[in-house]
Amino acid sequence: MPAKLKTAIVGATGYSGLELARLLLRHPHLETPLMLRRTEGGDESPHNGFANNGSINLAEIFPVLSGNGGYPIQPFSWAALQQQNVELLFLATPHDTSRALVPEAIAQGIRVIDLSGAWRLKQAQHRAVYGFQDTDSLTAAELTEKAVYGLPELNCDRIPNATLVANPGCYATSVILALAPLLSAEVVDRERGIISDSKSGVSGAGKEPTSRTHFVSVADNFSAYSVFSHRHVGEIIEQLKLDANQFIFTPHLLPIPRGILSTVYVYLNREMKPAEVEACFRDFYHGKRWVRVFATPQLPQIQFSLHTNYCDLGFCLAEDGRRLVLVSCVDNLLKGAAGQAVQNMNLMYGWNEEEGLQ
Amino acid sequence: MPAKLKTAIVGATGYSGLELARLLLRHPHLETPLMLRRTEGGDESPHNGFANNGSINLAEIFPVLSGNGGYPIQPFSWAALQQQNVELLFLATPHDTSRALVPEAIAQGIRVIDLSGAWRLKQAQHRAVYGFQDTDSLTAAELTEKAVYGLPELNCDRIPNATLVANPGCYATSVILALAPLLSAEVVDRERGIISDSKSGVSGAGKEPTSRTHFVSVADNFSAYSVFSHRHVGEIIEQLKLDANQFIFTPHLLPIPRGILSTVYVYLNREMKPAEVEACFRDFYHGKRWVRVFATPQLPQIQFSLHTNYCDLGFCLAEDGRRLVLVSCVDNLLKGAAGQAVQNMNLMYGWNEEEGLQ
Amino acid sequence: MPAKLKTAIVGATGYSGLELARLLLRHPHLETPLMLRRTEGGDESPHNGFANNGSINLAEIFPVLSGNGGYPIQPFSWAALQQQNVELLFLATPHDTSRALVPEAIAQGIRVIDLSGAWRLKQAQHRAVYGFQDTDSLTAAELTEKAVYGLPELNCDRIPNATLVANPGCYATSVILALAPLLSAEVVDRERGIISDSKSGVSGAGKEPTSRTHFVSVADNFSAYSVFSHRHVGEIIEQLKLDANQFIFTPHLLPIPRGILSTVYVYLNREMKPAEVEACFRDFYHGKRWVRVFATPQLPQIQFSLHTNYCDLGFCLAEDGRRLVLVSCVDNLLKGAAGQAVQNMNLMYGWNEEEGLQ
Amino acid sequence: MPAKLKTAIVGATGYSGLELARLLLRHPHLETPLMLRRTEGGDESPHNGFANNGSINLAEIFPVLSGNGGYPIQPFSWAALQQQNVELLFLATPHDTSRALVPEAIAQGIRVIDLSGAWRLKQAQHRAVYGFQDTDSLTAAELTEKAVYGLPELNCDRIPNATLVANPGCYATSVILALAPLLSAEVVDRERGIISDSKSGVSGAGKEPTSRTHFVSVADNFSAYSVFSHRHVGEIIEQLKLDANQFIFTPHLLPIPRGILSTVYVYLNREMKPAEVEACFRDFYHGKRWVRVFATPQLPQIQFSLHTNYCDLGFCLAEDGRRLVLVSCVDNLLKGAAGQAVQNMNLMYGWNEEEGLQ
């Protein structure tokens, strides 16, 4: 029986981080993960109400975890990682923190799965929205090249050997998986434009309390935001090789804690029948454990994929056989973040893709 | 001082009907409206739990109204209408009931504002979704011609003299008002298609308890439904003179009690600047009391128009000056139903358009 | 026709303040109220995102108000009050601000209705929870004596001539109005204890974003807080002359934006019949416009009183005729705050108690 | 390695039944459970929209389960049970169905865990609320005696050998576990009365769509119901040996899908310190895997126990050392139903109490 893998996670106190910690804690091939926290500029916010040094307990922040003896989170240090012989590091940190930590981790021979947007983008103009400089450092430029975009259904050939996996954004996951089969089959009339009208629960906005995440602002409400300027647009365009002027992405805030539904609009370049469209999806995702293709006319709903690692896909084709509406759902904290990170780890270590995710 | 108008309402026990009753009860130019109920096949459902004849009290069904001595609802009869010299009849009834009552009302010289879909559609293929036969009767065909689509911002010239006003659908109101200015200015590239991705609160689905309106089905959820088949598509196409194959309408169910937000996508046929687009909206709705145009980049949210009769409009234009996202919000029970009905009445009787709606 | 009253409001940018501004703006006996804001330590919070001086527009903070030309809010100054000859000042400010402003206002001959907890308590041990010193100043001690607790149903004799009205707390309103009739009739077995298990929507916690008011913390959740230590306990005990050791008050946070329901438990000192209990309530509140007594077995629900100034009261008596459960509902922003303030103003100026509140 | 247990479940199409099916499907000591459905008067409701005979698929009713090949549900028959050698039968059926099925199952030597209220009550006056006749049959009377109330923390000595386990009600679980330690320690002043003010999510009201479970009725609302008449009162009184006249139970409906919080009020018969109260709880539940005692002053919240099998207990003691507020939370579908049923099965077959529940 092989030794269990030694992992660490930085940023378990955020929403994605908590989900990730819970998944890692019960994964059959892992040692209990080392949990770490940045003490400045990192994953800590004053509203969490704990002091800036010393060990804290994850169960104090999320009492749902209490009753099992506790989950200590130590201040981050490279020494702690070395002492535990950590082989794989998960970062559930802001992108600036990831940008700062990854070069050193890679230099020390530690593989990294980064849940932030720090390493997802190859093109400078897309990285600009994060404020990264192209001239950050030679290392940063090299790592940007080296990083593998961790969408297992598209990149399962490159993830196993990756040193640095850039875990996709939650919205991007829902949109890319909806569009990839049709674009791959070259049946989309790209000239007429592609639109993703996406809707997310509030945990996607992070744990920081703001007037925008105040209960009274969100409940009984619904709103669009960041139209034409959301950070996930770059990922979608790069991964799907879209023309920026032929794509529109509109995110909206749903009055629910978690879940994403993207309604994606494409025009087909030839008349198709519903069965052909369905076959296109089924063929593309044949053997993919974490994508469920719904038989038309049934459509996914957010509830169906909540608390699972599934991306659910369905569609509705107009009578003219040209206008096509795709519906894609993911749990933003699982397939859209922590679950996908575990799926990537499973690929990186040659384990079954569903290990630790059922 | 002129005598007050005598009105009646059938169907005050539904969600739109209740809002309408509340508006009529406090309207300064009206006598206390006569409230009536259909005792078979009409606005009554067994779940309301009241007997099928005799007078009931609206405050028993909606206790929010209690404490004022009561609002009796009598069984419907033409005799009751005649006895009270009712001049204007509001129907907040299912479309079949409206289809059955309107010809006789018109024949008796009573003007009608109908909140159902019974008289909104001129074209037979659109009426088909309601199951109406073209050969219903000569009267029905004549009334269909005669009916005025009661969207005051577009039809303020014909509503004042209308005998029968077909009050628009809630979704249709939000979509038509968003698109009318740009289509009127002929700046839309219709060939590339127009898409409305619309989201509604649950009161839009009516008061009948179903597995779809069960709290547990709706809460923490979000879903698309009736893609390419919603009844409001016909209204939108007819009013805006769209080509059916160049329009997509996708309704979704929001986990909130009321409110509609439509995200509408159009491509412009020439490059425009945001200020031009804003001017197009401001010019079109100049002097219109119940439309608010938001200055870009601010966008309407559902909360802003709740419990008001406003249609709120905003937009976001891409840097290329071609891709345009419109956001339109209404309270589905007010501007989307009862409020618009009162606005229509104000026009029909020459009153200020805001009377009874502030 | 008498001149209209000149009023001012400080703190319109909070939830209660907004409701109050809306009520005052449409009250028939008032001039447009002067709206003021404290620029330090007052009603401003950094999250509102506006600069610390100069005039702002209430419609920018609450876009629901837009479309009417704007509602300017000036920085607070005594000069502004004098210039406008303000006769009545509403304070929707934190209690420290109210504590600071009221003595000067009274000295200038301006009457005050204060919505904070600053002047509600006569007994030093109750004031202690607010951190007030008994020796604040002679003026403060005098004003504390002079202040009238503004619960119109109990103090309608003293409010008309009051100089300073301390508007009751939202929870306190619901609890006191539920208990007053039975205590007044001396049918309560005080020895066995009185318990109020109260539940409030999130607007009661204020507009400041905190981890506690974050949507993800509140949605799908329910929790008790401040058990035995909530600030409203003192008001309830003082107004009802309860023994502190024979009363328990437990507030809870509901996942809704607004509304309070208090379930109040008392034991009767003699066996009673439901009709007697109902008569006790009806007699006590005879002629009181803003209390609705429900006929047993119907009980109030939060929805019934939302967006109204009613306090709804109902009860359920056990078969033994001794164990009594009272249910009391108010909208925390109306009867629990702004609506009650307007009701107090109506009494202070001899107007009909329902003026501006229908 | 011992053979796996053969089980069956009737009623997997309800909310508790679905949770139970999911737990049984992944329990390590079980064969895939046989899923059965009653075709008349049983667990089927017309709103589920499936035909009354033939096999259906659980994943069609709950699409969250799709993607795994399907979970067929057969029409109920004793032959099916015999053919599969079912040893343990779970009933997630209405109490009438349970009342009808259990005698025959027991006669055939099949052990039963019944999630309904059919067999929980020993005293005829409590059973009366279910409409059961004392003279049902000799068998029913015998089975009533024989049935073990399946609250593992209290009855772990009798459950292992039980033939028929009556799984407790969800509310009853939360209330009994909160009160048992203090009553057992005889520190409660029973004469002053015990009150449980309990609040439940909507799944507790079942899957049948009614006007009461309509989203618009529940959202933004909160209400008390069945005061002094809820069916769970009998269980609580019997299990805790309370005097019916010294207990009040008030259920309320929360606008959330699942979760229960009970706020329980007791007076102590001697002055105690918080540490003593906490010790009383810790001692009583020492070694109990599925009860978490919170250290004062932290209190449980509904979110903390959602999707777990925990009953969370906390308390707050007044300064006088006499007035005590207990807070108890369970997930009504897990510890309040399906999870507790699995916990009972674990005890009946000598397995670890946490098997299949982590």
Longest dimension (CA), chain D: 64
Place of tokens 């992070």: A206
Which bin fits B237, alpha (ψ -120 to 50), beta or left (φ > 0)?
A: alpha
The pLDDT value given to residue A138: 58
Q: What is the DSSP letter of B351?
A: -
Question: Three-state SS string across A35-65, please?
Answer: EEECCCCCCCCHHHCCCCCCCEEHHHHCHHH
The pLDDT value given to residue D203: 97
Q: Would you call A33 helix, strand, or coil by DSSP? A: coil
Parallel, antiparallel, or unpaired: how do β-strands D164-166 and D72-75 relate? unpaired
pLDDT tens-digit series, residues D73-129: 999 999 999 999 999 999 999 999 999 999 999 999 999 999 999 999 998 888 888
Same fold flag, B7-167+337-348 and B170-330 = no
Separation of alpha carbons B218 and C234, rounded Å: 41
Cβ of A216 and C213 within 8 Å? yes
Q: What is the DSSP letter of B27?
A: -
From D76, D72, D6, select the one nearest D36 (Cα to Cα): D76
Distance of CA C112 to the CA centre of its chain: 14
Note whether A54 contacts C: Cβ–Cβ < 8 A: no
From A12, A8, A9, select the one nearest A58 (Cα to Cα): A12
Do residues C292 and C356 lie in contact, with contact meaning Cβ atoms separated by under 8 Å? Answer: no
pLDDT, average across residues D124-150: 81
Note whether B307 contacts D: Cβ–Cβ < 8 A: no
Q: What is the DSSP letter of B29?
A: T
Out of D67, D220, D292, the one facing A66 most closely (by C-beta) is: D292
Out of B203, B211, B216, the one facing D216 most closely (by C-beta) is: B203
Do residues C31 and C4 lie in contact, with contact meaning Cβ atoms separated by under 8 Å? Answer: yes
Contacts of C105 (CB under 8 A, 6+ apart): C81, C89, C112
Question: Residue D157 corresponds to which tokens in the numbers above?
Answer: 């000595």
The pLDDT value given to residue D49: 40
Separation of alpha carbons C158 and C147, rounded Å: 10
Place of tokens 């770490």: A36
pLDDT tens-digit series, residues C42-83: 444 433 444 456 788 999 889 999 877 789 999 999 999 999
The pLDDT value given to residue C2: 73
Q: Is A269 exposed, middle or buried (0-12, 13-18, 19+ CB in 10 A)?
A: middle
Contacts of A123 (CB under 8 A, 6+ apart): A234, A238
D68 pLDDT tier (thresholds 50, 70, 90)? confident
Which H/E stretch holds residue C338?
A: helix C338-348
C6 pLDDT tier (thresholds 50, 70, 90)? very high
Parallel, antiparallel, or unpaired: how do β-strands A323-330 and A260-267 relate? antiparallel
Q: Would you call B13 helix, strand, or coil by DSSP? A: coil
Q: Which of C51-60, C93-102, D340-349 has the lowest mean pLDDT?
A: C51-60
The pLDDT value given to residue C201: 98
Contacts of B265 (CB under 8 A, 6+ apart): A195, A197, A248, A265, B194, B195, B196, B197, B323, B324, B325, B326
From D182, D171, D143, D138, select the one nearest D282 (Cα to Cα): D182
Evaluate if residue D156 carries a pLDDT over 80.
yes
B138 pLDDT tier (thresholds 50, 70, 90)? low
The pLDDT value given to residue B262: 98
Q: Which class in CATH covers the domain with range C7-167+337-348?
A: alpha beta
Separation of alpha carbons A109 and A306, rounded Å: 36
Separation of alpha carbons D225 and D242, rounded Å: 22
Evaluate if residue C182 carries a pLDDT over 70.
yes
Percent of chain D exceeding pLDDT 90 equals 84
pLDDT tens-digit series, residues C288-316: 999 999 999 999 999 999 999 999 999 99
Residue C208 C-alpha, separation from nearest chain A C-alpha, in angstroms: 7
First-to-final CA distance of chain A: 22
Q: Which of C209-213, C263-267, D44-48 has the lowest mean pLDDT?
A: D44-48
Q: Which CATH architecture has domain D171-330?
A: 2-Layer Sandwich (3.30)
The pLDDT value given to residue C245: 95
The pLDDT value given to residue D256: 98
Q: Which residues on B lie below 8 Å from A306 (Cβ)?
A: 220
Question: Residue B68 corresponds to which tokens in the numbers above?
Answer: 């004022």
Evaluate if residue C137 carries a pLDDT over 90.
no
Evaluate if residue B309 carries a pLDDT over 80.
yes
From A200, D46, A296, A178, select the one nearest B229 (Cα to Cα): A296
Residue A348 C-alpha, separation from nearest chain B C-alpha, in angstroms: 34
Note whether D102 contacts B: Cβ–Cβ < 8 A: no
D137 pLDDT tier (thresholds 50, 70, 90)? low
Please report the sign of the dihedral spanned by the C-alpha atoms of residue C296, residue C297, residue C302, residue C304. negative
Separation of alpha carbons D237 and C199, rounded Å: 26
- DSSP assignment of B287-345 equals T-TTEEEPPTT---BHHHHTTS--EEEEEEE-TTS-EEEEEEEE-TTTTTTHHHHHHHH
Note whether C63 contacts B: Cβ–Cβ < 8 A: yes
- DSSP assignment of C99-163 equals HHHHHHHHHTT-EEEE-SSTTS--SHHHHGGGT--TTS-HHHHHHHHH-EE--HHHHTTTGGG-S
Question: Residue A49 corresponds to which tokens in the numbers above?
Answer: 């109400």
pLDDT, average across residues B336-347: 98
The pLDDT value given to residue D342: 98
Separation of alpha carbons C189 and C81, rounded Å: 50
Evaluate if residue B200 carries a pLDDT over 80.
yes
From C281, C277, C260, C256, select the one nearest C268 (Cα to Cα): C277
D40 pLDDT tier (thresholds 50, 70, 90)? low
Collect the ranges in chain A with pLDDT lower than 50. 41-51
Cβ of A303 and D358 within 8 Å? no
Q: Would you call C287 helix, strand, or coil by DSSP? A: coil
- Establish, for the pair of chains B and C, how many residue pairs have beta carbons separated by less than 8 Å: 35
Note whether A254 contacts C: Cβ–Cβ < 8 A: no
Distance of CA C82 to the CA centre of its chain: 27
Out of A67, A292, A358, the one facing D66 most closely (by C-beta) is: A292
Do residues A211 and C213 lie in contact, with contact meaning Cβ atoms separated by under 8 Å? Answer: no
Domain range annotation of chain A: 7-167+337-348, 170-330
Cβ of D358 and A26 within 8 Å? yes
Evaluate if residue D47 carries a pLDDT over 50.
no
Evaluate if residue B119 carries a pLDDT over 80.
yes
Q: Which residues on A lie below 8 Å from B254 (Cβ)?
A: 222, 254-255
Do residues B231 and B169 lie in contact, with contact meaning Cβ atoms separated by under 8 Å? Answer: yes
Q: Which residues on D lie below 8 Å from B210 (Cβ)?
A: 47, 209
Separation of alpha carbons C316 and C312, rounded Å: 14
Q: Which residues on B lie below 8 Å from D202 (Cβ)?
A: 214-216, 219
Parallel, antiparallel, or unpaired: how do β-strands D56-57 and D72-75 relate? antiparallel
The pLDDT value given to residue D51: 46
Predicted complex ipTM: 0.94
How many CB atoms within 10 Å of residue B125? 11
From A68, A135, A155, A143, select the one nearest A104 (Cα to Cα): A143
Separation of alpha carbons D340 and D149, rounded Å: 11
Is cis: bond before C297, omega within 30 of 0? yes
Note whether D39 contacts C: Cβ–Cβ < 8 A: no
- Superfamily in which the A170-330 domain is placed by CATH: Dihydrodipicolinate Reductase; domain 2 (3.30.360.10)
Note whether B304 contacts C: Cβ–Cβ < 8 A: yes
Cβ of A327 and B224 within 8 Å? yes
The pLDDT value given to residue D311: 98
Tell me, yes or no, if A170 is annotated catalytic.
yes
Which H/E stretch holds residue A350?
A: none
Residue B263 backbone phi and psi in degrees, to 5: -100, 115
Separation of alpha carbons C90 and D222, rounded Å: 31
Question: Residue D130 corresponds to which tokens in the numbers above?
Answer: 């279910």
B272 pLDDT tier (thresholds 50, 70, 90)? very high
Helix, strand, coil distribution of chain A in percent, nearest 5: 35, 20, 45
Evaluate if residue D133 carries a pLDDT over 70.
no
Neighbours of chain D (3+ CB pairs under 8 A): A, B, C
Q: What is the DSSP letter of B236?
A: H
Alpha-carbon separation of residue B222 from A43, B5, B50 (angstroms): 30, 43, 33
Separation of alpha carbons B314 and B177, rounded Å: 11
